[in-house]
Structure 1
Amino acid sequence: MRRSLPLLAAGAGLVLLGTANAQVLKGHNTSAPVDFSADRIEVQDRADRVVVSGNVQVTQAGLTLTAQRLTVAYHDAKGIEIDRLDASGGVVVTRGDERASGSVAIYDLNRRLITLLGGVQLSQGANRLAGSRLVIDLATGRSTVDGSAASGPSGTSTSSNGRVSGTFKVRQRPN
């Protein structure tokens, strides 16, 4: 099954405030084909969705998303057009040395927004950032990591202290 859709990526240029902002998906080809593979793919035509489960892997132009389950919501207008992707179960998104992970990812293709929830970890090389929610705006390339102790899956807290934390590499200068 192949579809064209953008996915997520974690970025650099992180700024720590109450929330942290990052520029992501710079130069990513969102029109490239998307490949799905999994242990099981079930098409539910009456519900206009596809359920992909078991060792799910989605790739597009250098981006890779892995999860245990992915639900693809679509509509049929001159062929199938994807509206939304919901991934769960150890979601990891990688591109080069960039990596984002969380419990759940929601990708709204119509609004061009990706939201990662639940113990979010964001890294690029030696730089690390952690929070409870990551929102990526694909239209602007801006991402925000939120540290609020919002409720996650099953009503559990997604952040133990409600703050964003990070570690950033400092340029080494000769003494």
Structure 2
Amino acid sequence: MKRPALSRLALRGLVGGLVAGGIAALSFGQVAEAQNIAGFNSNQPVSYAADRIELQDRQNRVVLSGDVVIQQGDLRMTAQRTTVAYSDTGTLRIQRIDATGGVTVTRGNERASGNAAVYDFNRRVIVLSGGVALRRGGDTLDGGRLVIDLNSGLSSVDGRGSTAGENTGRVTGTFAVPEGD
């Protein structure tokens, strides 16, 4: 079933932004902003803060817990717990970040939240899952899973795992309509 062009453009603009113009940029506005997703530099340094850190050197991972904040450029991820997997070939290189417990990803005034997130640095893909909610101004989008491909700039939301009351398993939302002059 083909969606109306306005719905495709609105969804592309909504999802395209927040990861874009920077993270996983989920922009709720202009379609042109959605083009910036593919331009996000996932090679920027990653900084972190947490109440506790555990280095699991033999497993090549770091576990951060308690009010975790991870920052990469203008992308910010918060969670209760994250596991950072890395490779060590003389230089440490992050492979993947798994986050759980009230995960929120923000860029500017745009915000995406869910129960869990995976940022795969090798594939350049970010996946938010479990009660996903996107917010910017009066625009909202709720679903079960958000996938952001930083290579192609394509983002998609589906209802898998959605628990939005009567719309369980569906993507729902509201687009604000500007007032006329």
Smaller-chain TM-score bracket = 0.7 to 0.9
RMSD: 2.2
Match of 1:162? 169
CA contact (8 A) 1:12 1:24 kept: no
One-letter amino acid of the structure 2 residue matched with residue 169 of structure 1? A
CA contact (8 A) 1:11 1:123 kept: no
Match of 1:120? 132
Structure 2 unaligned segments of length 5 or more: list them.
Answer: 1-21
Alpha-carbon displacement from aligned partner over 1:10-65 (angstroms, at most 9, x marks no partner): 222599xxxxxx66636544333221000011110111110011000011222211
Taking every aligned residue pair, what percent have the same amino acid on both sides?
Answer: 54
CA contact (8 A) 1:118 1:159 kept: no
Equivalent of residue 62 in structure 1, options 58, 74, 84: 74
TM-score (structure 2 length as normaliser): 0.78
Matched, 1:11 2:42: no
Matched, 1:97 2:109: yes
Give the length in aligned residue pairs. 156
Greater length-normalized contact order (CA 8 Å, ≥ 6 residues apart):
1
Structure 1 unaligned segments of length 5 or more: list them.
Answer: 1-5, 16-21, 151-156
Cα distance between partner residues in 1 of 2:106 and 2:36: 12
Cα distance between partner residues in 1 of 2:35 and 2:27: 6
Match of 1:106? 118
Cα distance between partner residues in 2 of 1:120 and 1:23: 22
Matched, 1:49 2:49: no
Match of 1:75? 87
CA contact (8 A) 2:23 2:40 kept: no
Runs of 4+ in 1 over 6 A off after TM superposition: none
CA contact (8 A) 2:38 2:151 kept: no
Alpha-carbon displacement from aligned partner over 1:70-109 (angstroms, at most 9, x marks no partner): 0001111131111111000000011111100000001111
